[in-house]
């Protein structure tokens, strides 16, 4: 089967989980063309073992830990997006479109009368999951941004809905003995000055600030180390660290939970998904929430016991198998139930 797979390129989470599903689809013999939008086309990520098609697409502007709505509207470029959408007509016609919240592939499928499958965390918000009140505009965007005929939402709990567990890559085993003096910080949406003010007072800890877009090379600075993102080194730190302070995205907390790492999230202000993730993490006992970058909250958080590791099932393989067998919407409840039954928390069946 020929598949067009759309990947939202904003951040690394969409790319990381799409890479897992793509590998499983290709192992089943499917021909997959990848389309990535939402990041600079000059720096495409490696997805599916080949260089993907890249487009600007649609995304939001952020600064200082907030969505900047005026800049987002200014940078929207609807006519460019329309041209990019129309340009997809030149592609060989696929049998199916799969999208991880990537809008061009989803809307192109609708215009072409092609079936579209949505796989991603954002599709969980079509179900009844923890959410902050209000945000009606954001709720509308979540429903209309990348529409799909059948969707597979991903979350940390089913919440009694037909939602699947997270899709995470194969991870190392958690460290038997954590380094209680090692703190990781991953806050790419915050300003460097804001992070500096947050980490400087944490003198009793070795703080490693990973992956800020303005950090191009390793830079030791007293008890703080500034590090450009390198996945394998980051994962090694994640399996050993006492905890991680990060934005309230989905993929990184999923990986931290799989490694039994303490999680303290700082939600992106004005972003419904991150606000909802913060609520869910706290409700499920998986993490704590940092409203402001106040270093006084770090010591009490680290004094609590580390959570048990959550060993997520192989969701990517199950999703690819479901697509391979016809992607019947009637089979989604059984698919979800089977995967949650495989979840292991702290070495025991959940």
pLDDT of residue 344: 83
Rounded CA-CA distance 316/29 in Å is 15
Q: β-strand 344-345 against 348-349: which pairing, if any?
A: antiparallel
Distance from the first to the final alpha carbon of the chain: 36
Whether 2-167+313-349 and 179-310 share one fold: the answer is: yes
Is the separation of the CB atoms in 118 and 151 below 8 Å?
A: yes
131, 113 contact by CB (below 8 A) = no
Which pLDDT score, from 0 to 100, does residue 271 have?
A: 86
3-state helix, strand, coil in the chain (%, to 5): 35, 25, 40
Digit-by-digit pLDDT tens for the chain (350 residues) are 999 999 998 877 888 899 999 999 999 999 999 999 987 776 667 776 666 788 876 665 455 545 554 554 455 567 677 788 888 998 899 999 999 999 999 999 999 999 999 999 999 999 999 998 876 677 777 888 999 999 999 999 999 999 999 999 999 888 889 999 999 999 998 999 999 999 999 999 999 999 998 998 999 899 999 999 998 999 999 999 999 999 999 999 999 999 999 999 999 887 899 999 999 999 999 999 999 999 999 999 999 999 999 999 999 999 999 999 999 999 999 999 999 999 988 644 33
CATH number of the domain located at residue range(s) 2-167+313-349 in this protein? 3.40.50.2000
Q: List the chain domain ranges.
A: 2-167+313-349, 179-310
Distance (Å, rounded) from C-alpha 70 to C-alpha 68? 6
Measuring CA to CA, how many Å separate 157 from each of 130, 240, 245, 339?
10, 25, 21, 11
What is the per-residue burial (b if ≥16 Cβ within 10 Å, else e) of 121-149? bbbbbbeebbbeeebeebeebbeebbbbe
CATH T-level fold of 179-310: Rossmann fold (3.40.50)
| SS3 call for 283 | helix
């Amino acid at each position: 089967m020929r598949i067009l797979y759309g990947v939202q390129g904003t951040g690394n989470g969409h790319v990381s989980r799409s890479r897992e599903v793509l590998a499983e689809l290709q192992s089943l013999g499917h021909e997959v063309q990848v389309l990535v939008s939402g990041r600079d086309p000059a720096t495409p990520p490696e997805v599916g073992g080949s260089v993907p098609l890249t487009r600007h697409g649609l995304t939001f502007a952020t600064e200082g830990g907030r969505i900047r709505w005026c800049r987002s509207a200014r940078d929207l470029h609807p006519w460019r997006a329309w041209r990019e959408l129309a340009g997809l007509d030149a592609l060989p016609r696929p049998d199916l479109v799969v999208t991880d919240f990537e809008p061009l592939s989803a809307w192109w499928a609708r215009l072409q009368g092609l079936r579209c499958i949505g796989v991603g965390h954002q599709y969980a918000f079509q179900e009844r999951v923890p959410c902050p009140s209000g945000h009606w505009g954001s709720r509308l965007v979540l429903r209309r941004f990348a529409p799909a005929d059948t969707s597979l939402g991903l979350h940390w709990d089913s919440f009694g809905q037909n939602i699947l567990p997270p899709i995470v890559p194969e991870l190392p085993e958690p460290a038997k003995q954590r380094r209680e003096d090692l703190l990781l910080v991953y806050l790419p949406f915050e300003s460097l000055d804001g992070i500096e003010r947050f980490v400087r007072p944490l003198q009793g800890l070795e703080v490693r600030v990973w992956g800020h877009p303005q950090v191009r090379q390793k830079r030791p600075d007293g008890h703080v180390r500034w590090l450009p993102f390198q996945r394998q080194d980051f994962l090694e730190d994640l399996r050993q660290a006492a905890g991680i302070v990060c934005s309230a995205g989905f993929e990184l907390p999923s990986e931290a939970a799989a490694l039994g790492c303490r999680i303290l999230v700082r939600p992106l202000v004005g972003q419904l998904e991150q606000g909802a993730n913060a609520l869910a993490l706290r409700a499920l006992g998986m993490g704590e929430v940092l409203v402001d970058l106040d270093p006084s909250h770090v010591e009490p958080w680290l004094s609590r016991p580390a959570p048990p590791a959550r060993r997520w099932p192989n969701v990517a393989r199950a999703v690819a198998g479901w697509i391979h067998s016809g992607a019947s919407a009637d089979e989604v409840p059984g698919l979800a139930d089977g995967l949650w039954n495989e979840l292991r928390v702290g070495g025991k069946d959940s």
